[in-house]
């Protein structure tokens, strides 16, 4: 699964959580809510979580999923060879989550031949699976606002 970071502070008039290269307070709240929803639906015991080292992805990951392993640079899992890069980080029998950027998600969409029109929003999720031929197949997308709403007690 690839997840796009939450709302960028330097592209918003909303108050920031910290430095300009980070996310907004609203983005932090949305990331926390998305994390609650994800943990209600998925078991993360057998999951490796990686994040781009950019402040906005690290903050989003911390609020949404907790600590993640830092990738070497922003482009570590991006580009025309994104499938190969993802497969290098994918361990057999374990799920892989990467907190990343819009451009990287679009790289995977293009590289995988995904035939549906979709543009990742802040906090969007891109679900994929590894095929028997060691390829990556996109199986669905979800925007943060698409999660069912729960009572505020959750």
pLDDT tens-place string over residues 94-140: 999 999 999 999 999 999 888 888 889 999 999 999 988 888 999 99
Q: What is the model's pTM? A: 0.92
pLDDT at 154 over 50: no
Whole-angstrom CA distances from 130 to 68, 100, 133 are 21, 19, 8
Q: Which domains does the chain have, with CATH numbers?
A: 2-146 (3.40.50.1240)
Smallest CA-to-CA distance from 1 within 119, 123, 152, 147 is with 123
Share of the chain above pLDDT 90, in %: 74
Residues 59 and 105: their CA atoms lie apart, in Å, by 18
Whole-angstrom CA distances from 144 to 12, 30, 90 are 18, 8, 24
CB 59 within 8 A of CB 17: yes
């Amino acid at each position: 699964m690839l997840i796009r970071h939450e709302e960028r502070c330097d592209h918003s008039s909303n108050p920031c959580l910290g430095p300009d290269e980070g996310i907004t307070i609203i983005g932090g709240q949305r990331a926390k809510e998305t994390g609650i929803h994800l943990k209600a639906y998925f078991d993360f015991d057998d999951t490796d979580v990686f994040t781009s080292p950019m402040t906005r992805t690290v903050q989003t990951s911390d609020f949404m999923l907790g600590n993640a392993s830092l990738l070497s640079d922003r482009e570590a899992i991006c580009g025309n060879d994104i499938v190969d890069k993802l497969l290098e980080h994918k361990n057999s029998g374990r799920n892989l989550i990467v907190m990343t950027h819009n451009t990287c998600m679009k790289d995977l969409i293009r590289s995988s031949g995904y035939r549906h029109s979709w543009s990742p929003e802040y906090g969007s999720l891109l679900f994929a699976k590894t095929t028997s031929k060691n390829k990556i197949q996109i199986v669905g997308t979800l925007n943060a606002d698409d999660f069912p709403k729960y009572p505020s007690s959750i």
